[in-house]
Amino acid sequence: MEAAVSQYDNLVHSKEAMIRLLYGVVALLAMLLLVALLGWSRAPDNIRLHYPPDLSRGAVQNLGDIPKVTIYTFAYYIFQQLYRWPTDGRADYYDRIHTLRNYLTPACYEDRLADHDARQRNIAGRQRSVWEIPGRGFSNQRVQVTSATSWLVGLDLHIRETYRGERVKDLLIHFPIKIVAYDVDPETNPWGLAIDCLADAPRAIDIETNGEGRE
């Protein structure tokens, strides 16, 4: 009889131990679920990936890394749009500054407004076109990394202005442009970059000697 009671007690203790173990497993799983839900709630809704234009040889791109070609493309596109004046330089330049405000740092935005105020009489009625000089487009050397979140881009551009159909300016100019990471509002600036104006004065380009001198 005592043996039977002892065996029964052992079964009861084993069952209780199993129940406590299962409770522990359930509690652990609940904690892991809470951690997963917390991590999921903090995960970004959108992730920005920058792909190089040529994937024929494959590419390894870490999240957050921005290829130099992306930096250059952004600088050229925004800069070209800022200084493309199809009708009237005074009105077009002012409109471009405001239209592209989200792609300029606050300091550069204010600087361009001051530049417009200083030049509006000279550029009134002028039309301007801006394009890349053939053969002087992107290369890795044209994008210098100045910090983890800033770059210096060298653009070689052809600038042409006309006034009442007459050409008044036709220059080849090198522009050293500062670019910074600017992930402020992805809705208005999906690039996550901004122009921080010029790093130095523009320089006129002498194609014949392949040299540069001040404008």
Question: Token digits for 176?
Answer: 């050293």
pLDDT at 91 over 80: yes
Please state whether 125 falls in left (phi above 0), alpha (psi between -120 and 50) or beta: left
The CATH number assigned to the domain with range 68-214 reads 3.10.450.230
78-156-108 Cα angle (round to 5)? 40
Alpha-carbon gap, residue 194 to 71, rounded angstroms = 10
Dihedral (Cα; 98, 103, 104, 109), 10-degree rounding: 10
Q: Which one has a higher pLDDT value, 127 or 24?
A: 127
pLDDT-derived band at 7, boundaries 50, 70, 90:
low
Alpha-carbon gap, residue 92 to 124, rounded angstroms = 9
pTM for this prediction: 0.72
Question: Token digits for 151?
Answer: 């770059």
Alpha-carbon gap, residue 43 to 135, rounded angstroms = 43
Q: Which one has a higher pLDDT value, 173 or 48?
A: 173
Domain-wise residue ranges, the chain:
1-43, 68-214
pLDDT in tens, 33-79: 887 777 666 655 655 555 555 554 555 555 567 889 999 999 999 99
